[in-house]
Structure 1
Amino acid sequence: MSCKYAATNSKNQRNAFSLVELIVVMVILGMLAGLVAVRTRGYLISSKQNAAKTEIANIVKAVETFYADQSRYPTTDEGINLLLSPTDSWPNGFLNKAPLDPWKNPYEYVSPGSSEPYEIICLGADGREGGEGENLDFTSESLGGEDGRQ
């Protein structure tokens, strides 16, 4: 009878996972989740930087439209907020709302720029001048001049 009991007991044990097997599976799943998170973060950073470049190009178009309408560029003190103000020919203003970069920081406007009549600046994720990677700054001049595109 003891043989029959031993055979039944080993059969029941084979149907279950051991603690070591469960830990190995959990470690593998954790490593896979980590790899996915790293790749996703890279795409997220890249998409935010591309969104900032697109928004700078839109602001440049609004500034150039303002120039065509008013025969002058906004001063540094007037900044981007002047583009929100209605004029006789643009009753809704040149921009619908004050734009924020993808990191929720305001774009900076400087007139004159270093080599153009004005410069629009996005300070990156850290909101401070300078930086690399996610903190990289973008300007209308670095993106290709007056139209803000490369």
Structure 2
Amino acid sequence: MTQVTAETDAPLRDQVKSRAAERGMTLIEILVVLAIISLIIGGVAVAAFGRLDTAKIKDARNQVTQIQGFVEIYKLEKSGKCPKDLQDLKAAGVVNKVSKDPWGNDYVLTCPGEHGDVDVLSFGPDGQAGGDDDIASWDDDRDKDGDDEKKK
């Protein structure tokens, strides 16, 4: 039989201490990995929300252009008569439903318009008239996505 002495017990103690140290390092490594993953997810979320705002602006600009086209169809069907509002387009069967802008506000329709045959306006993200974020049918040449460059 083998006797356990202080000398034969030493390697066993070192082995137990080594395992405990490895477990502690593993926990630290997991925490570091979780921190890195959190930073990556945070960066992706910030980028995604920025793109969401840009997508809403582009959607509103497309809808403004579509509404202008619907008004032209209405005028052709009604011998040049202008609709009073978007509900007239629906009542005439030109559109199936009257949509709101991407921020949940109604589009403003003016026919005849001050800037063209028909003016269509979305008050933009702030929902207030007169801001820099308004999206108007007469501002099609201005890039409202953040740059003030002329489109080519």
Do structure 1's residue 140 and structure 2's residue 148 form an aligned pair?
Answer: no
Pairwise mapping of residues 1-150 of structure 1 onto structure 2 (< 5 A)? 1-18=8-25, 19-70=27-78, 71-74=80-83, 78-86=84-92, 93-131=93-131, 136-143=133-140
- Deviation track 1:5-58 (CA, whole Å, cap 9, x = no partner) reads 322213313542445434332322221111101111111111111111111111
TM-score normalised by the chain length of structure 2: 0.75
Normalized per residue, which structure has more helix? 2
Q: Which runs of 5+ in 2 are unaligned?
A: 1-7, 142-150
How many percent of aligned residue pairs carry the same amino acid?
Answer: 26
* Alpha-carbon separation, structure 1, partners of 2:50 and 2:130: 20
In 2, distance between residues paired with 1:124 and 1:56?
12
Aligned residue identity for 1:66: Y
Residue 83 of structure 1, CA deviation? 0.5
The letter of the residue matching 2:61 is K
Between the two structures, name the one with larger relative contact order (CA 8 Å, sep ≥ 6): 1
Which one has the largest radius of gyration?
2
Q: What's the RMSD between the two structures over aligned residues?
A: 2.1
Unpaired segments of 5 or more residues in structure 1?
Answer: 87-92, 145-149
How far residue 131 of structure 1 moved from its aligned partner, in angstroms, is 4.0
